[in-house]
């Protein structure tokens, strides 16, 4: 643990504080931040900011970016599916009627990953103390922000590509291709109506431009909620100090 401060003008020697370990994932990063915040709360002299080296900043930044990438596929696949529920293209729970519960649950499901990570990251509001810990949190959040921006760009490109490719001619070609290789299964076993399928895919195409808006909203929730929690914590601490 850190050594105590010296007396008068004598230099303070901090001994025994391990430098931040390279975090492997978000959980490691949050654990390191919590560990350092508990150390910095108990020392009288603040740590030198250079204690958090450039390599450490890059490590925490990378963890933030990687975390955004882990749920990229999940977001890209499930956001259009959730929007399709509101367009009555997919029946959630098999219900043909879209009840209020189904609507609210679909929205919650769509943002569940973002909400979950936002709640977890908001726990850092109690750890935002001390010089080094603040740098750790900032590096992590910068990585998260860049990762989320990258996720939005990838989602935009994928959705726009699908939207542009799903022209009526291409849909017809797709159906002909499916009929060629799986016609007996589709027609005889599953009783698929090709005309209905054609118009369903054509309607589903309109879901993709709107989906990007909800991907952006999800990213805003993931970054905004913990940031707001940290800012509120700073304001509350300042008010406490002023009262004291």
Catalog residues that contact other proteins under the rule CB under 8 A: 25-27, 30, 70-71, 74, 78, 81, 85, 90-96, 101, 105-106, 108-109, 112-113, 116-117, 119-120, 190, 192
Q: Which is nearer to other proteins, 81 or 217 (CB)?
A: 81
- CA angle, 234 as apex, 51 and 143 as ends, to 5°? 55
The tokens describing 135, both together, are: 């740098």
- Given a contact cutoff of 8 angstroms between Cβ atoms, the answer to whether 43 and 2 are in contact is yes
163 vs 200 by CB, closer to other proteins = 200
Q: How far is the CB of 97 from other proteins (least distance, A)?
A: 12
Total number of residues shown for the chain? 244
Q: Indicate the residue among 6 and 116 with the shorter CB distance to other proteins.
A: 116
Tokens of 61: 């930044």
The secondary structure element, H or E, covering residue 83 is helix 72-86
> Based on CB atoms, which residue is closest to other proteins, 47 or 83?
83
Residue with tokens 């002299």: 45
Task: Identify the CA nearest to 122 among candidates 226, 14, 244.
Answer: 226
| CB-based contact 139:56 (threshold 8 Å) | yes
Tokens of 181: 């290789």
Separation between Cα atoms, residue 4 and residue 157, nearest integer Å: 55
Q: Give the shortest CB-38-to-other proteins separation in angstroms.
A: 17
Judged by beta carbon, residue 51 or residue 194, the one nearer other proteins is 194
């Amino acid at each position: 643990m850190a050594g105590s401060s010296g007396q008068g003008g004598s230099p303070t020697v901090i001994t025994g504080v391990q430098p931040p370990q390279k975090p492997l994932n978000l959980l490691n990063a949050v654990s390191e931040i919590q560990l350092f915040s508990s150390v910095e709360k108990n020392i009288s002299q603040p740590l030198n900011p250079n204690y958090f080296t450039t390599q450490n900043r890059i490590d925490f930044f990378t963890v933030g970016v990687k975390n955004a990438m882990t749920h990229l596929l999940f977001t890209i696949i499930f956001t259009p599916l959730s929007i399709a529920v509101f367009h009555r293209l997919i029946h959630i729970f098999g219900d043909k009627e879209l009840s209020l519960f189904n609507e609210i649950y679909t929205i919650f499901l769509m943002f569940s990953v973002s909400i979950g990570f936002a709640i977890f990251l908001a726990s850092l509001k109690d750890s935002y103390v001390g010089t080094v810990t603040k740098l750790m949190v900032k590096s992590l959040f910068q990585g998260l922000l860049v990762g989320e921006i990258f996720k939005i760009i990838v989602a935009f490109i994928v959705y726009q590509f699908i939207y542009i490719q799903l022209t009526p001619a291409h849909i017809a070609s797709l159906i002909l291709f499916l009929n060629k290789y799986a016609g007996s299964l589709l027609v005889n076993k599953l009783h698929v109506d090709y005309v209905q399928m054609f118009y369903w895919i054509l309607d589903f195409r309109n879901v993709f431009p709107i989906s990007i808006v909800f991907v952006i909203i999800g990213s805003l929730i993931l970054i905004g909620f913990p940031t707001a929690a940290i800012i509120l914590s700073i304001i509350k601490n300042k008010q406490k100090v002023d009262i004291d």
